[in-house]
Amino acid sequence: LEESNEEEEEEEDYEKEEEWIGFSQQWDAVQAFTEAVKLNPREHRLFGNRSYCYEKLQRYEEALRDAEMSLRLQPGWPKGFFRKGKALRGLKRYAEAARTFEELLRLDSANAEASAQLEACRALLRVSPWPCHPQPCHPWLLPCGV
C-alpha cells in the first residue's frame, strides 16, 4: 500500500512539473513573439501566435486583443477568427464567441474545430447563469430563448 502511495505522489509531482514546464514555455513564447512584433508590427501571424499563447495561459483579454489585431492586419484570416472565438469563450462571452465561430464557418465550412467550438458555445449558453446578451443574435444562441 505504501508503494502505491509513493508511485501516486511521484506521478503527481511529474504532472505538476510538466504543467510548470508548459506554463514556462508559453511565457517564453509570449516574450519571443513580443520581440518579433517589435521587429515586424504588421505581421498578422505573430499576433495570432501570441494570442494562442495568451489563451493557453488563460490571459483571455490579451488573447482577444492580439486576435483582433491579427484580424485588423489581415481581415478575413480564418485563424484570427478562431483565436478571437477562443478568447471570447475564455472570457465567458459565449454569444460573441458563437457569432465569431459562425463567421469563421462562413469562410471555411469544413473547419471541424470551429464547428466543435460553436457547439460548445451553444451548449454553454444553454446552461449559463448569465442574462441574455444585449446584442441581437440568433435565437438559438440565447440561453433565455429570446
Total count of domains within the chain: 2
Q: What is the pLDDT of residues 108-140, one digit of tens each?
A: 999 999 999 999 999 999 997 765 444 444 444
Predicted TM-score (pTM) of the model is 0.76
65 and 111 both lie in a single domain: no
34 plus 103 within the same structural domain: no
Are both 28 and 64 inside the same structural domain? yes
User: What is the per-residue pLDDT across 13-61, written as a single tens digit (0 to 9) for each?
Assistant: 556 656 656 778 889 999 999 999 999 999 999 999 999 999 999 999 9
In a shared domain, residues 71 and 7: yes
3-state secondary structure the chain: CHHHHHHHHHHHHHHHHHHHHHHHHHHHHHHHHHHHHHHCCCCHHHHHHHHHHHHHCCCHHHHHHHHHHHHHHCCCCHHHHHHHHHHHHHCCCHHHHHHHHHHHHHHCCCCHHHHHHHHHHHHHHHHCCCCCCCCCCCHHHCCCCC
